[in-house]
Amino acid sequence: MFGFVSTAGIQRKPTSGWLRSGFFAASVLSSFVGAVGQATVGQVMAEDPPVIAVPDAIATTEAEMKPYKEIITDSDATIEMLPIKGGKFMMGSPETEPNRNEDEGPQREVEISPFWMAKVEITWDAYDIWMSDLDIFRRQVDNREPSVRDKLADAFSVSQPTKPYTDMTFGMGKRGFPAVCMTQHSARTFCKWLSAKTGRYYRLPTEAEWEYACRAGTTTAYSFGDDPEMLDEYAWYSGNTEDGYAKVGRKKPNPWGLHDMHGNVAEWVLDQHTEDGYPEADGTLKDPLEAPKTLYPRVVRGGGWDKDPEQLRSAAREGSTEDWIAQDPQEPVSIWYLTDALHVGFRVVRPLNTPSEEEIKEKWDKNEPVQVDRPKPKEDH
């Protein structure tokens, strides 16, 4: 769809003449281009270029972790991050839970390492900076040269792709509202861009991390208890909205201060969806991840504004389907946008301990099939 270009494993869009004319010096690119998922640790996460300074963002132990507000340079957008202490929990739902689905079990004990999680879902305020190159354009208007870290981030920029099927907000609202209709590939790439932009390592949560954070120490169907009648206080869903999603953070948070974990928009996680349930586990699992091996189905969690109460439970899972691109009129279909997933968004996490390049390659960024170069549709030539 977008004339997608791959450079030594780092996938990026063709840049405008402005970028081709010199802002991406070959020496800068060669300093960090490597296999997919490795660049952001070896070079992008290095202290030379320096990490963007943010109050309270530095911690070496769990006890030192504090809430902080990530900034995105060349923009007014911020992302509030909350510390999530490590611990153990029972993942999945018990067989006695009403409206339970087979893919929610068997329950297994999981140990989660500490991490920060975005307080709310990623909004268009932040997502559109990456999607539409707004930071690049602001530098152009201000006649400012990009920093080295800007150049590293620009390599993951969408760089003004061909237009999507329609306005991807579908008229539901933009500023302060959750970004939606992106593929998991788009959400992953946003995380790489954000990591490069800030010098701190961000990614999508695993399914286990997401459920651990959603439950926030609870064992009930929802983080507020078992009574779905209380959903109106905590979530936007089919029972209290008909027109679409709502601005983030307007409902009560869960016990750990996270908003919209139930409803508003479902959230991408890293995992493949396993329709017949979780793999059998022998003992406690440490930071598990079911790395994707096929494009469909992949997991979104939390339910969305158009879902019923049972689909918003802490253990409820939803797998992506090809129906989510049913109305895409372009050939080939987009690797970035979903025309029929108006309920799907995401939030980001940042682990306390930044993984090594090898760990990222072998676990966190493991993802098949790799999204390949695609020609533009005929009408774009």
Percent of the chain residues past pLDDT 70, beyond the cut = 83
Rg (CA), the chain: 20
Q: Is the domain 5-380 a CATH 1.50.10.20 member? A: no
Domain boundaries, the chain: 5-380
CA nearest to 266, candidates 210, 224, 223, 213: 210
10 Å CB burial of residue 305 (0-12, 13-18, 19+) is buried
> pTM of the predicted model, to two decimals?
0.87
Q: Is 2 left (phi over 0), alpha (psi -120 to 50) or beta?
A: alpha
Query: Which run of H or of E encompasses 5?
Result: strand 5-7
Query: Which run of H or of E encompasses 271?
Result: strand 266-272
Q: Is 259 helix (H, G, I), strand (E, B) or coil?
A: coil
Mean pLDDT (whole number) for 222-237: 98
Tokens of 180: 């939606």
pLDDT tens per residue across span 349-367: 999 999 999 999 999 999 9
DSSP structure class, residue 325: G
pLDDT tens per residue across span 263-322: 999 999 999 999 999 998 899 999 999 999 999 999 999 999 999 999 999 999 999 999
Whether a cis peptide bond, with omega within 30° of 0, leads into 49 is yes
343 pLDDT more than 90: yes
Average pLDDT, the chain: 86
d(CA 156, CA 356): 20
d(CA 121, CA 226): 24
339 pLDDT more than 60: yes
pLDDT tens per residue across span 32-75: 333 333 344 444 555 568 899 999 999 999 999 999 999 999 99
pLDDT band at 122 (very low <50, low <70, confident <90, very high): very high
